[in-house]
Chain A
Amino acid sequence: MPASGVNIPYSETAVIIPAYNPGETLLPICLELVKKKISVFVVNDGSTDTGMFNSLLELPVVLLHHSVNLGQGAALETGICKALSCGKSFFVTLDADGQHSTSSVDDLLEMLMQPDTDIIFGSRFLNKVSRRTIPSTKRITLKLAALFDGLLTGIWLTDSHNGLRAFSRQVAAKIHFTENRMAHATEILWLTKKCKWKYRECAVLIHYNKKSQHPSRSIEIAIDLFLRKLIS
């Protein structure tokens, strides 16, 4: 139970986990969430190694499969679609690689419960431990990406390329990515600006491991999207 005593409606909450060749980390994440009576939606985004998903069959977890790898943005949208049709009211997105801790889900939801909030963005730079342990190359590229996103969308987040987000049903219904891959992080800011959603940032803990995305990718992704917006 959170310190502020806000009641978190776990049963109305959907956690969406896009997974591409997930490691051992996926199962404990799902177990913890299921224990809280949260509905979990795992989207297998065309993984070549599907062994991990068989271990989820025993759990009350909704599994969705993309036949080929479409990208994280596309996987998120599929998960959101399914969760919407299951009548969920609150939505949290989470990465499968074990970088995010499930305790962050509580923090995000608690913040989302407050009046006048539509969407919460997780930020590793607001968390003391994450801020200290982040590799320096990753810090620089993430900061550059955030700067880029800020210039592009007018929404200045401390950590725009963070997979942890929480949002309401009203927001979920509007989410549609034209970018299948990682540029959806910028696209969601665009939507936030366009639909005038009330947003806040929440400190989250990030565990760093070897499997996570190479930091230079986030710059590449942002430039990709920028070029696309120029010509379309």
Chain B
Amino acid sequence: MIPIQIFLLIFLFAAFFLYWKIFQNRFLNRIVLLCAFLIMAFFVLYPGVSTRIANWLGVGRGTDLILYLSIVILIFVLLMMYSKIKKLEEMVTTLLRAKALKESNQKNAE
């Protein structure tokens, strides 16, 4: 095993355990997490496989393929986060507006 593999595996394990703790009582999330972890660990341990898949897809190296895929996935995740934040912002606005309207000094309004 070469050093980069050890480093990546340690990092993967750490991330896996952190998420495993966060996803308490969320069975489906844990299944997805486990699958993702196993796939990632597999490609770390057998880098040759990713190169074969890459060649089949018309990409030169396996690492390039993984780089492209991870950028696509990251952008997708960012967009999901953004829309979630936007939704939260809207909820906060609705709540605070309702509170402001309820607590306004009605006596002064004609």
Contact = CB atoms under 8 A, between A and B. Distances in A.
A61 B108 CA distance: 6
B101 interface: yes
Nearest to A59: B108
Contact of B105 (A62, A68, A74, A232): A62
Contacts of B104: 62-65, 82
Contacts of B89: 180
B101 A81 contact: yes
B99 A74 contact: no
Give the dominant DSSP class at B's interface.
Answer: helix
A172 B1 CA distance: 68
A180 B76 CA distance: 24
Contacts of B64: none
A65 B93 CA distance: 12
A77 interface: yes
A30 to B, nearest CB: 12
Q: Looking at chain A, what size class is its interface with the partner chain?
A: 20 to 34
Nearest to B96: A66
Interface string B51-68: 000000000000000000
B34 interface: no
Nearest to A181: B89
B100 A66 contact: yes
Which among A39, A64, A178 has the greatest number of chain B C-beta atoms within 10 A? A64
Given A68-B92, A178-B90, 7 more contacts: A57-B105, A59-B108, A62-B105, A70-B92, A78-B101, A82-B109, A86-B109
Interface of B: 79, 82-83, 86, 89-90, 92-93, 96-97, 99-101, 103-105, 108-110
